[in-house]
Amino acid sequence: MIRSSLKSIVTTWLTGLLSLLPLVLTLALLAWIFSLLNRLVGPSTLIGQLFAALGQPFSSNSYLAYLLGSLVLLASLYPLGLAVQMGLRRPLSWLLDRTLRRTPLIGNFYNLADRFVGLLDKSKNPDITTMAPVWCFFGGEGVAVLALRPSSETIELEGRPYCAILVPTAPIPVGGGLLYVPQAWIRPAEMGVDQLTSIYVSMGLTPPPGKRHPERGTPTPPAPTSP
């Protein structure tokens, strides 16, 4: 009797804990992000002191000057965006190519960041929007992989039509591999490039569209059909 009562109490306590756990984890993640930003660009950092210097003409308080300087910097992004739209993009790209891209180690990080932003910025990399998300069934009915098909053209290898696909990597979809697979393995994916990107960035937490298992709720890709 005592054991069953204790088990009921523990079960109820665990139920309350699990119901509150998502909120606690969300707050912990936000606290970690704010702590990281504070260490990187907080008032005590070199970048933070630059922000404070921008706000010092408006306030003598260091923290208020830091806040005002941050607001000034954020507001300055708008005229910068206008300048880029009016033709500054090309000379700015030329300057960065001659400086950051040619700097050892820093250039590698900048190239990776630039490729990632280019994947999200359709105006900067319009060719991405022409790619078609596809399902690739390896072996014809084996492992299903989400990929991008850059072109509808095929090439003939050993008497069979092959097509090129780009298989991204998670959680940074700008990387990956270029594969040539039999055309019969490819099926269109009912989604856009943005949705495919969000799936890889979330490492699969964002499910692809498709039928869901009635018990587990996992999405099922369209079944391959015989060519």
Q: Which residue has the tokens 């989604």?
A: 191
Task: Give just the sign of the alpha carbon dihedral 202, 205, 208, 209.
Answer: negative
Longest dimension (CA), the chain: 79
The verdict on pTM exceeding 0.75 is: no
CB atoms within 10 A of CB 93: 14
Please write the tens of the pLDDT for every residue from 94-121.
Answer: 777 777 777 777 777 777 677 666 655 5
The residues, any chain, with a CB within 8 Å of residue 151's CB and separated by 6 or more, are 163, 164
Q: Where are the alpha helices (DSSP H) in the chain?
A: 2-41, 46-55, 62-83, 89-98, 106-120, 193-201
Q: pLDDT digits over 70-96, tens only?
A: 888 888 888 877 877 777 777 877 777
